Amino acid sequence: MDTLTAAITLLLIMNPLGNLPIFISVLRHVDPKRRKKVLIRELLFALFFMLLFLYLGTSLLAWLGLRQEAVSIAGGIILFIIALRLIFPQPGGVLGLPAGDEPFIVPLAIPLISGPSLLAALLLLANNSPDRMFDWTLASVIAWAISATILMFSSFFLRALGQRGLNAIERLMGMILVMIAVQMFLDGIMAYMDKAGAVG
């Protein structure tokens, strides 16, 4: 996987367009003068957690006694569930959260921007090719920057696309994420079977 492909994959997992209605809902009751500051803060938290998992992911796996295949399969399952909720939306959005007070880390930074499937993908990138950490860092920052730009202009996108347009894009991204989730799951199964066969 090259840097651009990794960035596109991470961007699809982050799903900024699909998250736009949720961000607007969560920030609706925040003081308008505070909204941009809150959003910037949450975006920076998300980037911090992304880079933390990217660089400490392998050590974290070893410390928890987890295998790479388990992360791939678990990430695929979680991503599949999220993708289904994008295709078949529920009241309150993907997380079923009502609009509330000013958020702090949860739910905007985690899990909307830097969710479990994204962190699992970063762990896999770092574990599969630890010699290409600069490429993965660049891909992460690119995906984060595009997501941040889209979310910072959420009001503009909502006016330009309309609710129907956002719903259509959300379902399209859900379909793409279903395919990515199935591939992650199959990759984990195949890797486990290969290692089990080698041991046997």
pTM of the model: 0.70
If pLDDT is split at 50, 70 and 90, which confidence band does 11 have? very high
CB-based contacts of 114: which residues, under 8 Å, 6+ apart? Answer: 14, 45, 46, 47, 49, 50
Residue 163 has phi, psi (to 5 degrees) of -65, -40
- At 23 the pLDDT is 79
CA distance 71 to 79: 12
- At 94 the pLDDT is 53
Residue range 151-170, pLDDT digits in tens: 998 777 767 777 787 778 77
Q: Nearest Cα to 157, choosing from 23, 10, 9?
A: 23
CA distance 95 to 100: 13
CA distance 130 to 127: 6
CB-based contacts of 88: which residues, under 8 Å, 6+ apart? Answer: none
Question: CA–CA distance from 45 to each of 60, 70, 96 (Å)?
Answer: 19, 26, 22
Please indicate whether residue 86 or residue 125 has the higher confidence score (pLDDT). 125
- At 108 the pLDDT is 81
Residue recorded with tokens 């993907």: 94
Structure tokens at 99: 């609009």
* % the chain with pLDDT above 70: 90
Looking at residue 200, its amino acid is G
Looking at residue 107, its amino acid is P
